[in-house]
Protein backbone atom coordinates (compact mmCIF):
# COMPACT_ATOMS: atom_id res chain seq x y z
CA UNK A 1 0.00 0.00 0.00
CA UNK A 2 1.42 3.42 -0.92
CA UNK A 3 1.75 6.30 1.52
CA UNK A 4 -1.37 8.19 0.35
CA UNK A 5 -3.56 5.11 0.67
CA UNK A 6 -2.18 4.36 4.11
CA UNK A 7 -2.77 7.92 5.33
CA UNK A 8 -6.32 7.76 3.98
CA UNK A 9 -6.86 4.41 5.74
CA UNK A 10 -5.59 5.86 9.05
CA UNK A 11 -7.93 8.85 8.70
CA UNK A 12 -10.88 6.53 8.10
CA UNK A 13 -10.01 4.38 11.12
CA UNK A 14 -9.71 7.49 13.30
CA UNK A 15 -13.03 8.92 12.01
CA UNK A 16 -14.89 5.63 12.54
CA UNK A 17 -13.57 5.13 16.07
CA UNK A 18 -13.62 8.69 17.41
CA UNK A 19 -17.13 8.29 18.92
CA UNK A 20 -15.98 5.14 20.76
CA UNK A 21 -12.94 6.96 22.15
CA UNK A 22 -15.06 9.96 23.12
CA UNK A 23 -17.52 7.73 25.01
CA UNK A 24 -14.64 6.02 26.84
CA UNK A 25 -13.03 9.38 27.64
CA UNK A 26 -16.33 10.73 28.98
CA UNK A 27 -16.58 7.72 31.31
CA UNK A 28 -13.08 8.35 32.59
CA UNK A 29 -13.09 12.17 32.81
CA UNK A 30 -16.75 12.85 33.64
CA UNK A 31 -16.23 16.19 31.94
CA UNK A 32 -16.83 16.72 28.23
CA UNK A 33 -14.12 19.37 27.80
CA UNK A 34 -11.44 17.18 29.40
CA UNK A 35 -12.75 14.20 27.43
CA UNK A 36 -12.39 16.11 24.14
CA UNK A 37 -8.84 17.13 25.06
CA UNK A 38 -7.99 13.56 26.01
CA UNK A 39 -9.33 12.20 22.71
CA UNK A 40 -7.40 14.83 20.75
CA UNK A 41 -4.16 13.91 22.54
CA UNK A 42 -4.88 10.23 22.00
CA UNK A 43 -5.50 10.65 18.28
CA UNK A 44 -2.40 12.80 17.91
CA UNK A 45 -0.26 10.16 19.61
CA UNK A 46 -1.85 7.40 17.55
CA UNK A 47 -1.28 9.19 14.25
CA UNK A 48 2.31 10.01 15.25
CA UNK A 49 2.95 6.37 16.09
CA UNK A 50 1.42 5.05 12.84
CA UNK A 51 4.10 3.20 10.89
CA UNK A 52 3.90 4.41 7.29
CA UNK A 53 6.72 2.13 6.16
CA UNK A 54 5.09 -1.12 7.35
CA UNK A 55 1.60 -0.20 6.25
CA UNK A 56 -1.67 -0.84 8.06
CA UNK A 57 -2.30 -3.59 10.51
CA UNK A 58 -5.86 -4.65 11.19
CA UNK A 59 -8.37 -2.08 12.38
CA UNK A 60 -9.07 -3.97 15.58
CA UNK A 61 -5.40 -3.71 16.57
CA UNK A 62 -5.49 0.02 15.87
CA UNK A 63 -8.58 0.44 18.05
CA UNK A 64 -6.92 -1.49 20.88
CA UNK A 65 -3.85 0.74 20.58
CA UNK A 66 -5.98 3.91 20.63
CA UNK A 67 -7.84 2.74 23.75
CA UNK A 68 -4.54 1.88 25.45
CA UNK A 69 -3.12 5.33 24.58
CA UNK A 70 -6.31 6.94 25.89
CA UNK A 71 -6.08 5.02 29.18
CA UNK A 72 -2.40 5.82 29.62
CA UNK A 73 -2.92 9.53 28.89
CA UNK A 74 -5.79 9.63 31.39
CA UNK A 75 -3.61 8.01 34.07
CA UNK A 76 -0.86 10.54 33.34
CA UNK A 77 -3.33 13.43 33.66
CA UNK A 78 -4.74 12.00 36.89
CA UNK A 79 -1.28 11.53 38.44
CA UNK A 80 -0.20 15.02 37.40
CA UNK A 81 -3.34 16.48 38.98
CA UNK A 82 -2.79 14.58 42.24
CA UNK A 83 0.81 15.78 42.49
CA UNK A 84 -0.27 19.36 41.75
CA UNK A 85 -3.03 19.17 44.38
CA UNK A 86 -0.71 17.64 46.97
CA UNK A 87 1.90 20.33 46.38
CA UNK A 88 -0.72 23.09 46.64
CA UNK A 89 -1.98 21.58 49.93
CA UNK A 90 1.56 21.48 51.34
CA UNK A 91 2.16 25.09 50.40
CA UNK A 92 -1.17 26.17 51.89
CA UNK A 93 -0.48 24.27 55.12
CA UNK A 94 2.92 25.99 55.44
CA UNK A 95 1.33 29.37 54.81
CA UNK A 96 3.66 30.10 51.91
CA UNK A 97 2.68 31.61 48.63
CA UNK A 98 3.64 30.02 45.36
CA UNK A 99 6.42 32.15 43.92
CA UNK A 100 8.11 32.06 40.59
CA UNK A 101 11.91 31.95 40.94
CA UNK A 102 12.10 34.03 37.76
CA UNK A 103 9.72 36.76 38.95
CA UNK A 104 9.72 39.49 36.32
CA UNK A 105 9.12 42.26 38.88
CA UNK A 106 12.36 41.49 40.74
CA UNK A 107 15.30 43.69 39.74
CA UNK A 108 17.75 41.89 37.47
CA UNK A 109 20.65 40.44 39.42
CA UNK A 110 23.13 40.80 36.58
CA UNK A 111 23.19 44.55 37.08
CA UNK A 112 24.64 44.32 40.58
CA UNK A 113 26.68 41.09 40.55
CA UNK A 114 30.44 41.26 40.14
CA UNK A 115 32.50 38.63 38.31
CA UNK A 116 33.96 37.51 41.64
CA UNK A 117 30.50 37.01 43.13
CA UNK A 118 29.35 35.05 40.09
CA UNK A 119 32.45 32.86 40.28
CA UNK A 120 31.80 32.27 43.97
CA UNK A 121 28.18 31.33 43.18
CA UNK A 122 29.31 28.91 40.43
CA UNK A 123 31.71 27.23 42.88
CA UNK A 124 28.80 26.67 45.27
CA UNK A 125 27.14 24.34 42.74
CA UNK A 126 27.66 20.60 42.91
CA UNK A 127 30.11 19.21 40.32
CA UNK A 128 27.28 17.69 38.24
CA UNK A 129 25.28 20.91 38.16
CA UNK A 130 28.36 23.03 37.49
CA UNK A 131 29.53 20.81 34.61
CA UNK A 132 26.07 20.81 33.01
CA UNK A 133 25.67 24.57 33.44
CA UNK A 134 29.18 25.22 32.08
CA UNK A 135 28.30 23.29 28.93
CA UNK A 136 25.11 25.33 28.57
CA UNK A 137 26.84 28.69 28.89
CA UNK A 138 29.50 27.55 26.44
CA UNK A 139 26.72 27.44 23.83
CA UNK A 140 25.84 23.73 23.73
CA UNK A 141 22.27 22.62 23.13
CA UNK A 142 20.45 20.35 25.58
CA UNK A 143 20.81 17.33 23.25
CA UNK A 144 24.58 17.93 22.90
CA UNK A 145 24.97 18.25 26.67
CA UNK A 146 22.99 15.04 27.18
CA UNK A 147 25.19 13.17 24.69
CA UNK A 148 28.39 14.56 26.19
CA UNK A 149 27.41 13.53 29.72
CA UNK A 150 25.63 10.31 28.72
CA UNK A 151 22.37 11.38 30.40
CA UNK A 152 18.84 12.06 29.16
CA UNK A 153 17.68 15.46 27.91
CA UNK A 154 15.18 15.53 30.80
CA UNK A 155 18.03 15.17 33.28
CA UNK A 156 19.87 18.02 31.55
CA UNK A 157 16.74 20.21 31.84
CA UNK A 158 16.37 19.39 35.53
CA UNK A 159 20.03 20.08 36.28
CA UNK A 160 19.92 23.42 34.47
CA UNK A 161 16.73 24.41 36.28
CA UNK A 162 18.30 23.45 39.62
CA UNK A 163 21.56 25.26 38.82
CA UNK A 164 19.72 28.45 37.89
CA UNK A 165 17.59 28.31 41.03
CA UNK A 166 20.62 27.69 43.28
CA UNK A 167 22.65 30.43 41.61
CA UNK A 168 19.79 32.86 42.03
CA UNK A 169 19.31 31.87 45.67
CA UNK A 170 23.04 32.12 46.42
CA UNK A 171 23.36 35.51 44.73
CA UNK A 172 20.28 36.90 46.47
CA UNK A 173 21.70 35.88 49.85
CA UNK A 174 25.08 37.29 48.94
CA UNK A 175 23.65 40.63 47.83
CA UNK A 176 21.40 40.96 50.88
CA UNK A 177 24.41 40.54 53.22
CA UNK A 178 26.37 43.32 51.55
Q: Which one, of 61, 53, 173, lies nearest residue 124 by Cα?
A: 173
CATH number of the domain located at residue range(s) 109-177 in this protein: 1.10.10.10
Cα separation of 147 and 120, whole Å? 28
For residue 97, the model assigns a pLDDT of 54
| Contact between 160 and 133 (Cβ < 8 Å) | yes
Q: Which one, of 74, 75, 6, lies nearest residue 40 by Cα?
A: 74
Residue 67 vs residues 6, 10, 99, 111, 119: alpha-carbon distances, Å? 21, 15, 38, 54, 53
0.75 exceeded by the pTM?
no
Q: At what angle do helices 127-137 and 115-123 cross, to 10 degrees?
A: 130
Cα separation of 44 and 141, whole Å? 27
For residue 113, the model assigns a pLDDT of 73
- List pLDDT tens digits, range 116-140: 888 888 899 999 999 999 998 888 8
- List pLDDT tens digits, range 9-27: 888 988 999 999 999 998 9
**With 0-12 CB in 10 A as exposed, 13-18 as middle and 19+ as buried, what is 3?**
exposed
Low-confidence ranges of the chain (pLDDT < 70): 1, 51-56, 94-112, 177-178
Structural domain boundaries in the chain: 3-94, 109-177
- Are both 3-94 and 109-177 of the same fold? no
Q: What is the CA radius of gyration of the chain?
A: 24
Tell whether domain 3-94 is in CATH 1.10.1740.
Answer: yes
Q: Which one, of 133, 122, 123, 124, lies nearest residue 157 by Cα?
A: 133
For residue 178, the model assigns a pLDDT of 44
Q: Which one, of 55, 32, 35, lies nearest residue 43 by Cα?
A: 35
Amino acid sequence: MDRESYVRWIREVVARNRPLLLAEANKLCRNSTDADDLVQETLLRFVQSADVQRGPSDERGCVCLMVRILSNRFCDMYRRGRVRDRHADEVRSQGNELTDPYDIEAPPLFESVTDEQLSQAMQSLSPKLRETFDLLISGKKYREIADAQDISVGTVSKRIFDARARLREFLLKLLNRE
